[in-house]
Amino acid sequence: MQKRDELYAGKAKSVFKTDDEKALILHFRNDTSAFDGKKIEKLDRKGKVNNLFNAFISEKLEEAGIATHFIKLLSDEESLVKKLDMFPIECVVRNISTGSLCRRLGVEDGLDLNPPTFEFFLKNDDLGDPMINEYHIESFGWAEASHVERMKELTFKVNGILQKLFLDAGILLVDYKLEFGLYDGEVMFGDEFTPDGCRLWDVETREKLDKDRFRQGLGDVVESYEAVARRIGVKLD
Ligand code: ADP
Ligand code: CDP
C-alpha cells in the first residue's frame, strides 16, 4: 500500500490518498481541539491511543454486523480505511443529559434519558455545527431520506453494542457522535469512535474520562483515554 498526497488536514486527523483509489490512510495526530477549533493543543500519545481505540471499536462493531470503513492498522498512528463519500452531518445519541443539550434546553445535567435521544448537527465549524432536522437535510440535499433513516438506525444499533461494552468495564456511555458516508451506495460508519467524540463516565464515581477533561481543563486527558482503553481491552503496548 503506497501512501500518496494529503487530501485533507482536519483538526485532529490527516487524510491521505493511496495507490488504491477506493482506500485512504487516516493519520491520527496528537492535535486536540475543542470549541470548533478555538482551543487547540498537542498532547503526547493521543494520536496512538485514539488510532488503537478506534481500531478496537471498529472491530467490535464489525463483529456485531455493522459495516465500517476500517480496513486495518498500518502503524501506531495510521489506519487504512475505505474511502467514503461523507455526509456533512453528525449523528448524536444521548443516554444521559449533559453538554449542549442542557445549555440549549435548560434541563438538569446527568438525567437518564429513556428512551435515549437523537440529534443531527451540520458539520460546519464556521457556523459552530448548528443543530438541524431531517427536513433541513432533505431540503438542502445533504442526504436523501432513505440514507437519513439508515444513519439513525445504525447510530442506535451502535448504542446497544457499545453501551454494553463500556458498562462491562464499569463505564457509562453518556453520549457520542458518529459520521457516515456512502461506499458503493451503502451507508457506512466512517471517521472515528474515540474518547474525542463521546462522553464516558466512571459508573461508580461519575468521573469524566473523555474529551470533557480537555474542554474543561481537568488534566490527565491522554492518561484517561489510555485508562479507558485498557479497561475495555485495547492493547496499547
Ligand atoms: P474535522 O474535519 O472535523 O476537523 P478530523 O480532523 O477528524 O475532523 O478530519 C478527518 C476528516 O476525514 C473528517 O472531515 C471526516 O469527515 C473525514 N473522513 C473520515 N473518514 C473518512 C472516510 N472513510 N472517507 C472519507 N473521508 C473521511
Ligand atoms: O461539546 P458540546 O457540549 O458542545 O457538544 P454536545 O452537543 O453536548 O456533544 C454531544 C456528543 O457529541 C459529545 O460526546 C461530543 O464529544 C460529541 N461531539 C463531537 O464529537 N463533535 C462535535 N462536533 C460535536 C459533538
Rounded CA gap, 161 and 138, in Å? 29
What residue spans define the domains of the chain?
Answer: 3-82, 85-220
pLDDT attached to residue 215: 98
- pLDDT band for position 5 (50/70/90)? very high
pLDDT tens string 48-90: 999 999 999 999 999 999 999 999 999 999 999 999 999 999 9
CA proximity to 84, closest of 2, 184, 192: 184
Residue of 175, 200, 210, 225 to mutate, ligand 2, most atoms within 8 A of C-beta:
175
- pLDDT band for position 24 (50/70/90)? very high
Ligand 2 atom 16, closest CA: 197
Q: Are the C-beta atoms of 26 and 79 separated by less than 8 Å? A: yes
Confirm or reject CATH 3.30.200.20 for domain 3-82, answering yes or no: yes
The ligand 2 atom nearest the CA atom of 210: 16
* 213 Cβ inside 6 Å of ligand 2: no
Q: What are 113's three cell numbers?
A: 434519558
pLDDT attached to residue 237: 87
pLDDT attached to residue 1: 83
- pLDDT band for position 148 (50/70/90)? very high
The ligand 1 atom nearest the CA atom of 81: 23
* 198 Cβ inside 6 Å of ligand 2: yes
Q: What are 224's three cell numbers?
A: 484517561
Superfamily of domain 85-220: ATP-grasp fold, B domain (3.30.470.20)
Write out the H or E segment, with its range, that includes residue 5: strand 3-9
Query: What mean pLDDT is reported for the chain?
Result: 98
Q: What's this model's pTM, rounded to 2 decimal places?
A: 0.98
Q: Are the C-beta atoms of 182 and 173 separated by less than 8 Å? A: no
